[in-house]
């Protein structure tokens, strides 16, 4: 690349953006005004803040003992008691001698047939309580019925406050009863728990800021990157200046890097200005609210140590670079500025879980979480702010590698978008749904487009989500397992792919990549499945140890293992090994892979299909393991040119896992001829260290052999051979 070209493009884009008043206002002025205005609103709202105050009517107050009556008559900031008689509260009512005589369901109140709503409104109360004659002993043993209208919010608040008040009265009554016994009235008091906090206030404030600020940084780093990216891509399309730039001596890659540096500058500026404005405003608000009822909460957001701020500033750079590259790639798809603005919400929805995850309790920096994009960087900054330098240093290489990899992939995606003439010069004219369907039918090709393949994968994930929810609660038997597996695999996975392939593609055979494979490819795939299974088992166990399974998932897996013991072996291999292997490979390494592979998008096809394949498993631990295995299967599908090799690999892999689990649960002894590779321990068959080492070496050899094997430049599928045979005859 010519860095002089990049510098010229960067300076050009910076000048253009600085001339746009709306961009300057959003990037520089809005952060300086937003948080002070929010602080001013907090001051104004605080002046009108008051506690909930409700009125509760008491019928039969003469039945209340004097000691409890004095407690009720004491001033209360939340409850105002209104003493009512039966005749005043419910005119012409029959004598209410028991709790069962209370009107319910808005029904009658004597001869006038008044509704409860009218009774409450007439007495100007939010709820009414009948005090029985044997109060309080009978109430403590049974219940105290309250007349309320839950349609009113004040009535709901009154019931909640009344329940709290009755519980306090109950405790006081028990305390007085126990005061004359050897136990004493303090027997029912909760024991005092003395907590000694050894952490300095600065570290506690750093912990709270580390949970709040990454969320703010994400929103503003993405916002600050996205709007300039829209203007640099869709805006130039509308102004007609993009063609002039593309005709310059600068290459497409140099143009992308020049625009990317511009977007990064605005993203960094937006994030830093918002960080400074928010921190300054929060510090002023803490000082102003000191000594009030909210000071305890706000003091936790007090001044942050300078070292912690430095670690936060280090977090801003990788997040800004990553989201700037993503924003530029997505903005290049837009045909107009208006269309580009619609793409902001999907980006926020994708990035939001990655930022919300570190805010969950118990999520800390570890070798497993350091592999999660954005999340690992946030947890790393939190570990540095907390002084956990050893853990942070161990995870820095992983976090750095993941962040750089994601950023480079985003940049590569943006470059590919700029190199595509169909993306850069798409028609921005409007089109109705009818014309779009007509054109889609007329312009069908042998394989789907990338968007159609991605849409198919997302539809399958949605179907699996609702399908698994509908199957929750079924008893885990062999018959129900067969039924649910066939419904999920054939109806919710293969079904949508077949429908879309029939409608959108001319050749179903090419859409599902049903090519002819040599016996060498099939044998190599089968041997690789056997050799790689021990390594995959160790990796899956490491993932399960890093991300612990939930109680419900563990119980479900135990029930599944118990079901395998009684199930027929042939049926298990057919339903749980062969059917998923065929359906999942036809979908993810077939239809989805074929569309994503268009325009030399081999890396895109491998990664996206693996990600969708992992999400289809539904359990986090299985999704992580399946995504890694999906990358290998995608590479194998790319090298072999079809799905048959991956079906063989998938079937053998599933079969080995099911057979090991079934024999282990049955308590079978390992046969002598294979005892050098397998061992049995407490009902679990596992691999020996010798076979794990040998299988890893064999796997590496097979992968290298497949990678370096020469192939014919023309690969004919079965459909082409049949056509040639028909024309010959």
pLDDT over threshold 70, residue 587? yes
Q: How many C-beta neighbours within 10 Å does residue 630 have?
A: 28
Q: Which residues lie below 8 Å from residue 691, measured CB to CB, with a gap of 6+?
A: 534, 676, 677, 678
Decide which of 576 and 313 is more confident: 576
Q: What is the pLDDT of residues 111-130, one digit of tens each?
A: 334 556 676 777 778 888 87
Higher local confidence (pLDDT), 549 or 231: 231
Range name among 381-385, 469-473, 696-700 with the lowest pLDDT average: 469-473
pLDDT at 429 over 60: no
Say if CB 162 and CB 127 are below 8 A apart. Answer: yes
Query: What would the pLDDT profile of 353-410 be if each residue is shown by its tens digit?
Result: 777 777 776 677 888 788 888 888 888 877 887 778 888 888 888 888 888 888 888 8
Question: pLDDT digit string (tens) for 487-515?
Answer: 889 988 999 999 988 888 888 888 898 87
Distance CA 396, CA 394 (A): 6
Output the CA angle 529-550-204, nearest 5 degrees.
120
From 252-261, 517-526, 705-714, the region with the lowest mean pLDDT: 705-714
- What digits encode the pLDDT tens for the residues 163-200? 888 777 777 777 777 777 766 656 566 666 666 665 66
Q: What is the pLDDT of residues 302-345, one digit of tens each?
A: 555 666 677 777 777 877 888 888 888 888 877 777 777 777 77
pLDDT(224) > 70 = yes
Q: pLDDT confidence of 586, banded at 50, 70, 90?
A: very high
Confidence of residue 715 (pLDDT cuts 50, 70, 90): very low
Q: Are 452 and 504 in contact (CB under 8 A)?
A: yes
- What is the arithmetic mean of pLDDT over 38-66? 63
Question: Does the pLDDT value for residue 60 go beyond 80?
Answer: no
Q: CB under 8 Å to 679, separation ≥6 — which residues?
A: 670, 685, 686, 687, 688
Pick the residue with more confidence: 678 or 71? 678
Strand pairing category for 127-130 and 146-148: antiparallel
Confidence of residue 201 (pLDDT cuts 50, 70, 90): low
Count of positions (residues) in the chain: 729
The SS3 call for residue 308 is helix
Residue 24: per-residue pLDDT:
67
Whole-number mean pLDDT of the chain? 76
pLDDT in tens, 623-648: 888 999 999 999 999 988 889 999 99
Whether 599 contacts 422, CB under 8 Å: no
- Please write the tens of the pLDDT for every residue from 674-687: 888 888 876 678 88
Tell me, what's the pLDDT at 34?
A: 64
State residue 718's pLDDT score.
47
Better-scored residue on pLDDT, 232 or 192: 232
Q: Could you tell me whether strands 79-84 and 127-130 are parallel, antiparallel, or unpaired per DSSP bridges?
A: unpaired
Q: CA 466, 467, 470, 475: dihedral to nearest 10 degrees?
A: -150
Lowest pLDDT segment from 47-51, 207-211, 473-477: 47-51
Q: Is a pLDDT exceeding 70 seen at residue 265?
A: yes
Closest CA to 636 of 663, 601, 610: 610
User: Is 293's pLDDT higher than 50?
Assistant: no
Q: Percent of the chain scored above 70 by pLDDT?
A: 71
In the numeric block, the tokens 């631990």 are attached to: 621
**Higher model confidence: residue 440 or residue 589?**
589
For residue 50, the model assigns a pLDDT of 45
Most confident of 287-296, 661-670, 712-721: 661-670
Task: Among 29-33, 306-310, 699-703, name the most confident range.
Answer: 699-703
Encode 241-260 in three state secondary structure: CHHHHHCCCCCHHHHHHHHH
Is pLDDT larger for residue 600 or for residue 45? 600
Q: At what angle do helices 252-288 and 306-331 cross, to 10 degrees?
A: 140
Which contacts of 720-726 are long-range, i.e. CB under 8 A and separated by 24 or more positions? 721/516
Better pLDDT: 251 or 284: 251
Q: Which tokens in the block code for residue 359?
A: 């805010």
pLDDT at 498: 92
Task: Report phi then psi at 82, rounded to 5.
Answer: -120, 120
Cα–Cα distance for residue pair 2/257, rounded to 1 Å: 11
- The per-residue pLDDT for 528 is 93
Q: How high is the pLDDT of residue 684?
A: 77
pLDDT at 22 (0 to 100):
62
Closest CA to 430 of 336, 296, 538: 336
Residue 435 is predicted with a pLDDT of 61
Q: Confidence class of residue 108 from pLDDT cuts 50, 70 and 90?
A: very low
pLDDT at 352 exceeding the cut of 70? yes
- Write down the pLDDT at residue 191: 64
Q: How far apart are CA 528 and CA 535, in angstroms?
A: 11
Distance between CA 334 and CA 347 in Å, rounded? 14
Name 148's bridge partners: 127
What is the Rg, in whole angstroms, of the alpha carbon atoms belonging to the chain? 34
Q: At what angle do helices 620-640 and 519-546 cross, to 10 degrees?
A: 160
């Amino acid at each position: 690349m010519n860095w002089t070209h990049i510098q010229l493009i960067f300076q050009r884009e910076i000048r253009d953006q600085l001339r746009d008043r709306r961009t300057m206002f959003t990037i520089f002025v809005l952060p300086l005004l937003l948080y002070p205005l929010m602080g001013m609103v907090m001051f104004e709202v605080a002046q009108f803040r008051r506690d909930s105050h409700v009125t509760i009517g008491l019928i039969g107050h003469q039945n209340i003992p004097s000691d409890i009556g004095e407690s009720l008559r004491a001033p209360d900031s939340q409850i105002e008691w209104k003493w009512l008689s039966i005749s005043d509260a419910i005119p012409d009512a029959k004598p209410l001698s028991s709790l069962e005589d209370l009107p319910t369901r808005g029904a009658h109140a004597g001869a006038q047939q008044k509704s409860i709503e009218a009774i409450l409104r007439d007495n100007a109360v939010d709820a009414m309580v009948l005090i029985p004659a044997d109060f309080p002993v009978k109430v403590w043993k049974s219940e105290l019925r309250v007349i309320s209208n839950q349609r009113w919010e004040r009535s709901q608040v009154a019931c909640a406050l009344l329940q709290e008040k009755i519980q306090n009265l109950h405790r006081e009554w028990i305390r007085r009863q126990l005061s004359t016994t050897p136990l004493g009235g303090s027997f029912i008091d909760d024991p005092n728990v003395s907590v000694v906090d050894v952490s300095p206030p600065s570290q506690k404030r750093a912990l709270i800021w580390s949970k709040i600020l990454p969320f703010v940084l994400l929103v503003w780093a993405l916002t600050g990157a996205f709007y300039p990216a829209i203007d640099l891509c869709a805006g130039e399309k509308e102004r007609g200046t993009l063609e002039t730039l593309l005709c310059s001596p600068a290459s497409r890659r140099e143009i992308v890097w020049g625009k990317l540096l511009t977007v990064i500058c605005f993203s960094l500026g937006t994030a830093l200005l918002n960080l400074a404005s928010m921190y300054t405003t929060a510090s002023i608000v803490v000082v102003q609210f000191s000594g009030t009822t909210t000071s305890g909460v706000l003091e936790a957001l007090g001044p942050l140590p300078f070292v912690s701020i430095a670690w936060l500033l280090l977090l801003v750079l990788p997040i800004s670079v990553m989201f700037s590259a993503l924003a530029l790639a997505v903005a290049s798809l837009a045909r107009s500025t208006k269309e580009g603005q619609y793409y902001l919400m999907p980006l926020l929805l994708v990035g939001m879980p990655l930022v919300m995850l570190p805010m969950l309790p118990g999520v800390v920096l570890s070798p497993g979480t350091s592999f999660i994009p954005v999340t690992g960087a946030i947890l790393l900054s939190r570990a540095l702010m907390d002084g956990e330098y050893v853990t942070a240093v161990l995870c820095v290489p992983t976090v750095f590698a993941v962040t750089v990899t994601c950023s480079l992939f985003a940049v590569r995606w943006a470059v590919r978008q700029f190199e595509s003439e169909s993306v850069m010069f798409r028609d921005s004219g409007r089109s109705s749904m009818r014309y779009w369907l007509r054109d889609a039918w007329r312009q069908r090709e042998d394989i789907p487009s990338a968007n159609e393949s991605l849409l198919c994968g997302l539809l399958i994930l949605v179907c699996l989500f609702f399908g698994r929810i509908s199957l929750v609660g079924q008893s885990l038997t062999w018959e129900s397992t067969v039924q649910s597996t066939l419904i999920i695999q054939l109806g919710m996975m293969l079904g949508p792919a077949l429908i879309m392939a029939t409608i959108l593609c001319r050749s179903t055979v090419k859409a599902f990549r049903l090519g002819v494979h040599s016996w060498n490819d099939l044998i190599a795939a089968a041997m690789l499945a056997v050799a790689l299974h021990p390594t995959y088992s160790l990796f899956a166990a490491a993932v399960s140890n890093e991300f612990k399974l939930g109680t419900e998932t563990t119980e479900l897996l135990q029930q599944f293992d118990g079901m395998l013991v009684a199930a027929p072996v042939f049926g298990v291999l057919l339903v749980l090994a062969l059917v998923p292997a065929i359906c999942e490979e036809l979908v993810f390494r077939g239809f989805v892979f074929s569309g994503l592979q268009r325009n030399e998008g081999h890396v895109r096809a491998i990664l996206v299909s693996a990600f969708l394949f992992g999400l289809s498993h539904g359990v986090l631990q299985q999704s992580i393991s399946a995504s890694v295995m999906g990358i290998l299967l995608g590479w194998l599908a790319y090298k072999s040119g079809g799905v048959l090799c991956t079906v063989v690999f998938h079937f053998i892999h599933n079969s080995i896992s099911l057979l090991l689990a079934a024999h282990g649960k049955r308590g079978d002894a390992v046969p002598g001829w294979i005892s050098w590779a397998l061992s049995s321990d407490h009902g679990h068959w596992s691999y020996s260290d010798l076979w794990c080492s040998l299988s890893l070496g064999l796997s590496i050899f097979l992968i290298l052999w497949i990678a370096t094997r020469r192939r014919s430049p023309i690969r004919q599928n079965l459909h082409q051979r049949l056509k040639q045979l028909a024309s010959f005859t």
